[in-house]
Each structure stands twice: as structure tokens, then as C-alpha cells.
Structure 1
């Protein structure tokens, strides 16, 4: 793609806005349409766009495969950890109501439904971003067979 400088420049201009929109969808998903899955796909699309324009090696320097693998596990851990936390506090798996008065009330951190949904959506977003990026790595890294 080095023969197409306009595409490279436009990509560098677009990626921050794509990432900003992904964060918007992630953090406002519990109030309106969107959430973890949509934000994860949008975030991954920015990474994939970067990889398509600048090459697989460039994107793997920005987001190494080992980091992406760890993010896949981290997202599932955040999701499941939220459910285990609610069980440890006496509720059922992902029963956010038990988070109402147990999680740092003196720091004025949102609790209850809001905190539970936020954590679950964050876990989903991290996992979806990592999985979509790893799928891109798998397809882009294939060797041509003849």
C-alpha cells in the first residue's frame, strides 16, 4: 500500500475517530443502543483497517498476537468474574442487585445494575475486539498455496 499515500493518510485520519466512536458505544451501551459487542467490532475494525492498509507486520507491532490472546482471556475473566463476584456476595450468577451496597460505597462508584452491566459489557467488548483481531491475523497470515 505504500504506492497509495492518500489511502494511508486518510486511514491515519479516520482511525482515531473510529476508536472514539467505539469508546462512545462501549460507555453508553447501557443507556441506549450498543454495548460491548458492537463496540468490540468497531474497535477491531479500526485495527483491521490499520492492518489492511499498513500490512500485517505493522498491526502485529501495534497489537502483538500474544497481547491479543491475553485480551481474549481477560475479557472472559471480567465477564465471569462479575458473575462470580455476585455469587460471592450472596446473589445468583450476574445478579447485579447484590452489588448495590457492597462495592466501595464510600468512593461514590456506581453500583448495582449500572456497575454490573458496565463490567459485563466491558468484558464482552474486550473479548470481541480480541477475537475479531485474531481472526484477521489468522486469515491475513495464511500462506498462498498453489
Structure 2
């Protein structure tokens, strides 16, 4: 059986299924983020689903392909942007309504059960989703790198250093 790590991923079947599903998984995650105030879901659940699309790419194709879709630097910037956006939305509530995290986007009785019926919840869900997506992807990448170091040649080097004075 060929070494999958040397080839840069898994079998052709897994790569093909991943190629078909990665966009749909990401789109479903965005749907969960945007409509989280009307259906079960929200920013955290949508962010986890979106991150799973990038994790699936990493598992199927290898880290270089995942970095082509979402570079580590871009994930770090998205992480910071999500947190900053969430904080700005909270401070805008203080600025416009006088209370921290107050809903400052007006709603009307006619807007119930529509996308615009939630005020600041939709932007907050998107900010949380970005934060969770990028954080979970970065945690997976770091744990994968640690696994490679500990399980491959790195483990042998660590063992040699332990036994040599």
C-alpha cells in the first residue's frame, strides 16, 4: 500500500468526494451562521461546519492544498478580524443606544421571521463564525504539525536526545 503522506493526501475516491463536498459544506456552514436566529444554529455551529470543510481538505489532499485555500496568515487575520468585529458591534450598541451590546439596528413587526428581524444578531453570528472557523482550523493545523513532529523523524530525534548526555 502506498504511503499517503508522501503522495500528499488520501486516495482518489476521498479526494474526489472532497472536491464535490467542500463547497457545499462551506455553504451550509454560512447558511447556519446567517440564519442562526431563525433556526437552530448560529455563529459557533456555522463556524465549526465551515472549518470542517477546510479540515476535510487538509485530510484529503494534505496541508499544502489546505494552505492554498486558506493560508495560515489569512486564518490568523480572520481570527483577529472576527474578534474585533464582535467587539465593535458591542461598542456600537454602547455608542448608539447607551448600553453595551444593545441592539442598535431597528426592527419592525413586519420583519418577523425574516433575515432582517434579528438586528445585530446576524452580524454577531458572522463575526463569531469567522472567529470559530479560523481558530478551529489553526488548532487543527498546529495539532497536525505536532503529530508529524512527534510521530515521524522528529520522534526518533527526541529519543536520541534523551539517551545521549
TM-score norm. by structure 1 comes to 0.86
Picking from 15, 29, 32, the partner of 1:8 is 15
Deviation for aligned residue 1:69: 0.5
What is the number of equivalent residue pairs in this alignment? Answer: 136
Between structure 1 and structure 2, the one with the greater Rg is 2
Picking from 124, 132, 135, the partner of 1:131 is 135
Q: Structure 2: which 5+ runs fail to align? A: 108-115, 157-165
Q: Helix, strand or coil for the counterpart of 2:120? A: helix
- In the alignment, what sits opposite 1:69? 76
Cα root mean square deviation, aligned: 1.8
Q: Structure 1: which 5+ runs fail to align? A: 102-109
8 Å CA contact 1:78–1:122 kept in 2: the answer is: no
8 Å CA contact 2:35–2:122 kept in 1: the answer is: no
The answer on 1:21 being equivalent to 2:28 is yes
Describe how 1:1-146 pairs up with structure 2 within 5 A: 1=4, 2=7, 4-96=11-103, 98-100=104-106, 110=116, 114-142=118-146, 143-144=149-150, 145-146=155-156
Deviation for aligned residue 1:62: 1.5
Deviation for aligned residue 1:141: 1.6
8 Å CA contact 1:72–1:126 kept in 2: the answer is: yes
TM-score norm. by structure 2 comes to 0.76
If asked which structure has higher relative contact order (CA below 8 Å, sep 6+), I would say 1
8 Å CA contact 2:34–2:42 kept in 1: the answer is: yes
> Partners in 1 of 2:70 and 2:22 — Cα distance?
14
Deviation for aligned residue 1:125: 0.3
